[in-house]
């Protein structure tokens, strides 16, 4: 007997490992389960990648507002394999969300949530929730402009929820503003609390999968009847069952290894997104938006009418969650085949179309400041071909660009669409109204009271007052002054 074999036998005898794992590894699963049955284990595998790469990141990450940004720069550019590990963690997160989505869609389509697997579904819904929480908390840990602003925006949105709003903000930010306490809290959630929840839920989920057995491929005309299903499934496995290892598990292994290869490839070639500028709350030059998997929801919120938004911000996820939870109770028996449940296919299709549309909107984000806005060309500043703009108006136009106004406001086709178009604002608002608005901000318009000198304010107002529809014969000059 070879030494290796003897060592194994000794280890197995003393540890009992094959007795413990053997039955689990070789338990009978339905023959004919397809590749789509591997989506769940793909999700699990992505999670394990996150655990390993996450531990790697945590060894070098510094949880302090002063050092977090630098430590990530160090990880990204200097640490051995740092670039690769951060890249894998980023793409692994995407993979996890993607596979959870696909796995849920598949389970929904084959109605594997029906009797007796209701709890499998519910623990899966909980896993979806905690996975999204990981995405949200992880983003702040980048601690760059975008990350910090995203959380400020999220908190501002949560804060507008009726009744619980303020408490929620306090909970999210660990205080009233984003700061050291916020970072520490997000870090603790991201590396201890939520992962612990995930481990527990994954354990439960897998236990339930073993307990009820892997669901058989559905067949039209073979409905689930809770009275007879268990006995039927038992007999079914006797004829149609194959041992999980190796007959079915090889697909999971292929998917897992394939994913690892793709993740390493993406991490090496594309990498994680470059960090933005270090956070500076006085700079508005940020592009707050969540990572792609939450981007579509960001679009929902941005597109909702402002007066409904306050309610829907929390209500929409609550409704979606409630529907997911209710599903196995609404329909836990009957046909499983998607062919006999056309509405199931319809729902999946609608959700896919809806999310992709919103996703495209979210990517364009016409409601976000346009940070690439170019300075207004002289022809626009002059407004009228005939009259030359006065010096103060030219100065104001320059400030309009350099102070970031143009990122949110469009003038004659230049600039962002976050705020109202100011092409003809001179006709609409008095100088006093403009001054008040610029100094005080309000409704998504930042207050500039603290960051403009009186001269700058004058120039801005002069410039804005000069903005009139081209038809009106009005030289592009205003006296300035804040009245």
Question: Residue 166 or 444: which CB sits closer to ligand HEC?
Answer: 444
The whole-angstrom separation of Cα 82 and Cα 72 is 9
Torsion angles phi and psi, residue 388, rounded to 5: -80, 140
Binding of residue 279 to ligand HEC (CB under 6 A) = no
The whole-angstrom separation of Cα 351 and Cα 357 is 10
**The only residue of 404, 415, 476, 480 in contact with ligand HEC, by rule CB under 6 A:** 404
Q: Cα dist. 173→140, 290, 298 in Å?
A: 11, 17, 19
**Minimum distance, C-beta of residue 289 to ligand HEC, in the bound complex (Å):** 14
Binding of residue 432 to ligand HEC (CB under 6 A) = no
**The only residue of 444, 469, 470, 472 in contact with ligand HEC, by rule CB under 6 A:** 444
**Minimum distance, C-beta of residue 315 to ligand HEC, in the bound complex (Å):** 23
The whole-angstrom separation of Cα 76 and Cα 70 is 10
H/E element, 241: strand 241-243
**The only residue of 445, 474, 475, 482 in contact with ligand HEC, by rule CB under 6 A:** 445
Token output for 280? 């500076």
Q: Cα dist. 412→43, 368, 477 in Å?
A: 49, 18, 17
Q: Is 271 helix (H, G, I), strand (E, B) or coil?
A: coil
Binding mask 82-111 for ligand HEC (x = CB under 6 A): ------------------------------
Scanning 55-63, 155-163, 413-421, 471-479 for contacts with ligand HEC by CB under 6 A, the matching segment is 413-421
Scanning 18-26, 253-261, 314-322, 416-424 for contacts with ligand HEC by CB under 6 A, the matching segment is 416-424
* Cross-strand partners of 243: 28
**42: burial class by Cβ within 10 Å (0-12, 13-18, 19+)?**
buried
- 481 cis-preceded (ω within 30 degrees of 0): no
Binding of residue 420 to ligand HEC (CB under 6 A) = yes
Question: Residue 265 or 281: which CB sits closer to ligand HEC?
Answer: 281
Binding of residue 138 to ligand HEC (CB under 6 A) = no
The whole-angstrom separation of Cα 223 and Cα 334 is 4
Binding of residue 469 to ligand HEC (CB under 6 A) = no
Binding of residue 403 to ligand HEC (CB under 6 A) = yes
Binding mask 329-368 for ligand HEC (x = CB under 6 A): ----------------------------------------
| Residues 6 or more apart whose Cβ sits within 8 Å of residue 92 | 46, 49, 50, 53, 263
Question: Residue 342 or 442: which CB sits closer to ligand HEC?
Answer: 442
**The only residue of 68, 214, 224, 438 in contact with ligand HEC, by rule CB under 6 A:** 438
Whose structure tokens read 């007796």? 116
Binding of residue 408 to ligand HEC (CB under 6 A) = yes
Contact in structure between 128 and 99 (CB atoms under 8 Å):
no
**The only residue of 434, 462, 477, 478 in contact with ligand HEC, by rule CB under 6 A:** 434
**The only residue of 89, 114, 336, 418 in contact with ligand HEC, by rule CB under 6 A:** 418
Number of residues that bind ligand HEC (CB under 6 A): 25
Binding of residue 426 to ligand HEC (CB under 6 A) = no
**The only residue of 129, 223, 446, 475 in contact with ligand HEC, by rule CB under 6 A:** 446
Residues 366-385 touching ligand HEC, rule: CB under 6 A, are 369
The whole-angstrom separation of Cα 298 and Cα 320 is 15
Torsion angles phi and psi, residue 476, rounded to 5: -75, 55
Binding of residue 411 to ligand HEC (CB under 6 A) = no
Give the helix ranges, DSSP H, for 304-341: 306-330
**Minimum distance, C-beta of residue 425 to ligand HEC, in the bound complex (Å):** 6
SS3 content of the chain, % helix, strand, coil (to 5): 65, 0, 35
**The only residue of 131, 145, 248, 407 in contact with ligand HEC, by rule CB under 6 A:** 407
Token output for 95? 């993979």
Phi-psi region of 334 (alpha: psi -120 to 50; beta: other; left: phi over 0): left
Binding of residue 6 to ligand HEC (CB under 6 A) = no
Binding of residue 288 to ligand HEC (CB under 6 A) = no
Binding interface with ligand HEC (CB under 6 A) = 284, 369, 403-405, 407-409, 418-420, 425, 428-429, 434, 437-438, 442-446, 448, 460, 464
């Amino acid at each position: 007997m070879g030494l290796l074999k003897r060592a194994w036998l000794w280890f197995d005898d003393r540890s009992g490992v094959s007795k413990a794992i053997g039955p689990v590894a070789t338990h009978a699963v339905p023959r004919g389960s397809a590749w789509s049955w591997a989506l769940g284990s793909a999700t699990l595998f992505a999670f394990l990648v996150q655990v390993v790469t996450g531990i790697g990141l945590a060894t070098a990450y510094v949880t302090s507002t002063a050092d977090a940004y630098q430590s990530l720069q160090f990880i990204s550019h200097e640490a051995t394999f740092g670039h690769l590990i951060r890249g894998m963690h980023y793409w692994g997160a995407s993979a996890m969300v993607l596979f959870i989505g696909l796995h849920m869609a598949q389970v929904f389509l084959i109605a594997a949530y029906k009797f007796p697997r209701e709890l499998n579904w519910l623990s899966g819904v909980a896993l979806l929730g905690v996975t999204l929480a990981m995405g949200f908390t992880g983003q702040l840990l980048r601690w760059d402009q975008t990350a910090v602003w995203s959380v400020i925006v999220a908190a501002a949105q949560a804060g507008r929820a009726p009744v619980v709003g303020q408490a929620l903000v306090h909970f999210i930010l660990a205080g009233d503003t984003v700061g050291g306490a916020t970072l520490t809290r997000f870090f603790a959630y991201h590396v201890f609390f939520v992962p612990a929840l995930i481990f527990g839920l994954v354990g439960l989920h897998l236990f339930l999968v073993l307990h009820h057995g892997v669901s058989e491929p559905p067949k039209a005309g073979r409905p689930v009847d809770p009275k007879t299903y268990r006995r039927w499934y038992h007999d079914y496995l006797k004829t149609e069952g194959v041992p999980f290892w190796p007959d079915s598990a090889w697909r999971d292994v292929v998917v897992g290894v394939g994913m690892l290869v793709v993740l390493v490839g993406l991490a090496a070639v594309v990498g994680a997104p470059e960090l933005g500028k270090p956070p500076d709350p006085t700079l508005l030059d940020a592009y707050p938006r969540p990572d792609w998997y939450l981007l579509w929801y960001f679009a929902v919120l941005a597109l909702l009418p402002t007066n409904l938004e306050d309610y829907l911000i929390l209500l929409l996820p609550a409704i979606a969650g409630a529907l997911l939870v209710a599903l196995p109770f609404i329909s836990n028996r009957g046909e499983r085949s998607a062919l006999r449940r056309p509405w199931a296919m319809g729902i999946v299709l609608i959700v896919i179309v809806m999310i992709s549309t919103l996703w495209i909107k979210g990517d364009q984000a016409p409601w976000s400041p346009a940070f690439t806005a170019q300075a207004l060309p002289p022809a626009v500043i002059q407004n009228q071909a005939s009259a030359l703009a006065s010096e103060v108006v030219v100065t104001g136009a320059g400030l309009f660009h350099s102070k970031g106004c143009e990122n949110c406001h469009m003038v004659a086709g230049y600039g962002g669409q976050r705020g109202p178009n100011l092409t003809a604002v001179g006709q609409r608002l008095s100088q006093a109204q403009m001054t008040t608005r610029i100094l005080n901000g309000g409704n998504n318009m930042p207050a500039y009271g603290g960051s403009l000198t009186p001269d700058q304010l004058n120039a801005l107002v002069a410039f804005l007052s000069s903005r009139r529809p081209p038809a009106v014969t009005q030289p592009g000059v205003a006296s300035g002054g804040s009245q």
